[in-house]
Amino acid sequence: MHVSLLLPAPLATIGGGHDYDRAIIAALCAEGHTVEAVELAGRHPLADETAQAAAAAAWQGLPDDSVPVIDALTLPAFAPFADALAARHSVALVHHPVALEPHHDAATRAALTALERRLLALFARVIVTSSATAERLADAFGVTRARIAVVVPGTDAAPRSAGSGGSGCEILSLGVLTPRKGHDVLLRALALLPDLAWRLSIVGGARDRAYADTLPHLAAELGIAGRVRFTGNLVGDALEELWQRTDLFALATQHEGYGMAIAEALRRGIPLAVTEGGAASGLVTPQNGVVCTNGDHAALSRALRRLIFDTALRANMAEAAWQSGCTLPDWRAQARLFAAALAR
């Protein structure tokens, strides 16, 4: 099969959606398919003239034999080609509906919702990365369930985390610095625990520079700056080294299409403290972690207190996390599901 995956440039961007795109491309190629990544310049999803021009050029340049797969983050840029999308039997890849991004104002959200409803109706199939997103598309965006295929992210094999081995608790939060990830909520939650021995590493690039700049200032105002480290983006051995020192993974996200970092934590046997945003809680059980209400830093703080203080509880949850992680699918298996969805 020849697949053209059209996505916001650049493919090397660090973040859940791009991580999925890179991994599924590699896995499809390993399965013998031909996949080209078509990077679209410009602003997405609020498409500017550059984005629209890039979409037009990319569409016109598609090989005749390829299956077009459009990352839904770029979908607004394809609005002028609605009829062509339907005629080509195109496929949409939806990590989560762009209209649901919490930073949009009401007017922008309404416009994006209407646009997504109109365009998603034209695709032959819609691939989503979680059952929660599938339900949302069917209920709120009018996508018929028969056209939806769920292909959750895979995870690569990883060694079990050894943890910090010290008397304190090393906490990791992994996610780009944008309001949706709720790093400010996590900081406020941990600030209520000055009597406990904890340290926090926040890994992620500044997707929203204005928001990212507030976080170190907030940590200072809360009196916890000495316990919090902002690492920026980490990949490869540097990130794995941090995973291996981690005792607890925490993420106060407002919305996740799946929660790839949560899956990565489970794959390494690390217990979880997360909020219920979107599909973020889908992998969490009472045995491997705790789930708190979105935006409620006091509730998150109470949950964190138990996990930080009670080392026996945390050890039991770590074992359950490891068992959960061992059941997660790998990327080759998910590539086969992805290809089957394209061939339907």
Per-residue pLDDT, 314:
97
Q: With bands split at pLDDT 50, 70 and 90, how would you rate the model's confidence at 8?
A: very high
Answer yes or no: are the C-beta atoms of 91 and 70 closer than 8 Å: yes
* Ramachandran angles phi, psi of 181, nearest 5°: -80, -15
The predicted structure's pLDDT at residue 31: 94
DSSP 3-state assignment of 55?
Answer: helix
264-307 per-position pLDDT tens digit = 999 999 999 999 877 778 899 999 999 999 999 999 999 999 99
- CA 283 to chain centroid, in Å, comes to 13
- Mean pLDDT (the chain) is 94
CA distances from 37 to 3, 23, 72, 80, 201 (A): 9, 12, 14, 21, 32
d(CA 196, CA 301): 11
pLDDT value at 336 more than 90: yes
Is the pLDDT assigned to residue 13 strictly greater than 90?
no
Which of 178, 210, 180, 136 is CA-nearest to residue 295? 180
pLDDT digits (tens, 9 = 90+) for 56-97: 999 999 999 999 999 999 999 999 988 888 888 999 999 988
Virtual torsion, Cα 219, 248, 177, 330, nearest 10 deg:
170
pLDDT at 39: 96
pLDDT at 100: 79
The predicted pLDDT at position 17 comes to 87
pLDDT in tens, 192-232: 999 999 999 999 999 889 999 999 999 999 999 999 999 99
pTM, 2 dp? 0.89
C-alpha 199/C-alpha 162 separation (Å) is 16
Per-residue pLDDT, 280: 76
8 A C-beta contact, residue 211 and residue 238: no
Q: Which of 171, 45, 51 is nearest to 109 (CA)?
A: 45
Does residue 103 register a pLDDT over 80?
no
| pLDDT at residue 41 greater than cutoff 90 | yes
| Interatomic CA distance for residues 161 and 247, integer angstroms | 8
- Average of pLDDT values for 176-191? 96
Segment among 9-13, 34-38, 144-148, 323-327 with least mean pLDDT: 9-13
- 187 closest CA partner among 151, 150, 228, 159: 228
Q: So what's the pLDDT on residue 81?
A: 86
Strands 248-251 and 148-150: unpaired
Q: How many CB atoms lie within 10 A of CB 109?
A: 17
- Domains in the chain and their CATH numbers? 2-154+330-343 (3.40.50.2000), 169-325 (3.40.50.2000)
